[in-house]
Amino acid sequence: MRLKNYVSMITGVSSGSGIGRAIARLFAMEGSSLVLSSYRQDEAAMRALAGELEDYGSRVLLFDGDLSSEETVRKLVAAAEMQFGKVDVLVNSIGISQQLPLSQLTLADWERMLSVDLTAVFLTCREVLPLMLRQNFGRIINVASQIGQKGAVECCHYAAAKAGVIGFTKSLAREVGGSGITANCIAPGPIITEMLANTPPEWVKNKKAELVIPRIGEAFEVAPTAVFLASAPDGNLYTGQTLGPNCGDVML
């Protein structure tokens, strides 16, 4: 169990088919206690998820709130500290997506995208960091996207937010590297989640044809990258890096 005795905070676990929830399951299987953050998610569904994870032996704290709010993030971190006394790993899997041509993109669309996909990452990292500095150890893992590396049609605001996550994480890694804390990104390629549910079949067909590994990935295939970066000695020497489980969509 590579994460035994860890306390891991994972944001963005609302979606039943999402990457955040897949990471939470694998972290529980690897022995970590969990602080799980969702937003406006059905309470019964979240309790069911907690029960599932507790069956692996994990202790689970559930939190519901909008993490683009400074006050809400402070409450989240305070609840985690009160319950567990520490946070060893922060996984920011929170995110939304939207496709619109730039000519139709409103300021409200732009601000909402950056608020959820970038500002929430900044806030959670900033508020968790003192706990990690106190113990001279921490693993920060921010989920970006390959679109933040290569761009995509009708995704200017989404690409900007995810590229911002990557740049933010590199800078944070340089800032805290001497304090036993690492900061890395995961930039998945197309993954079967609720975000992809309304994508036209023709787009999926064409996208598969573009990929070196010609298929769309699944969330459970991304989760092991987070375990790798969180665990020791596996992730010890990785910081400021962007790992890409993306079927060859981006090669660096």
- Given this model, what pLDDT does residue 87 score? 98
Residue 235: pLDDT band (50, 70, 90) is very high
Residues in the chain: 252
- Given this model, what pLDDT does residue 194 score? 74
Which of 95-109, 126-140, 167-181, 183-197 is the least confident region?
Answer: 183-197
pLDDT at 146 over 90: yes
Q: Please name the residues in contact with 10: beta carbons below 8 A apart, sequence gap of 6 or more.
A: 20, 23, 24, 27, 34, 35, 36, 37, 91, 93
- Given this model, what pLDDT does residue 137 score? 98
Give the number of other CB atoms < 10 A from CB of residue 248.
12
Positive/negative CA dihedral, 197, 201, 203, 206: positive
Query: Which of 6, 56, 158, 238 is an active site residue?
Result: 158
Distance CA 233, CA 116 (A): 32
pLDDT digits (tens, 9 = 90+) for 160-175: 999 999 999 999 999 9
pLDDT at 126 over 80: yes
pLDDT digits (tens, 9 = 90+) for 70-80: 999 999 999 99
- What are the distances in angstroms from CA 211 to CA 188, 201, 220? 13, 16, 19
Distance CA 115, CA 46 (A): 24
- Given this model, what pLDDT does residue 19 score? 95
Is 158 an annotated catalytic residue?
yes
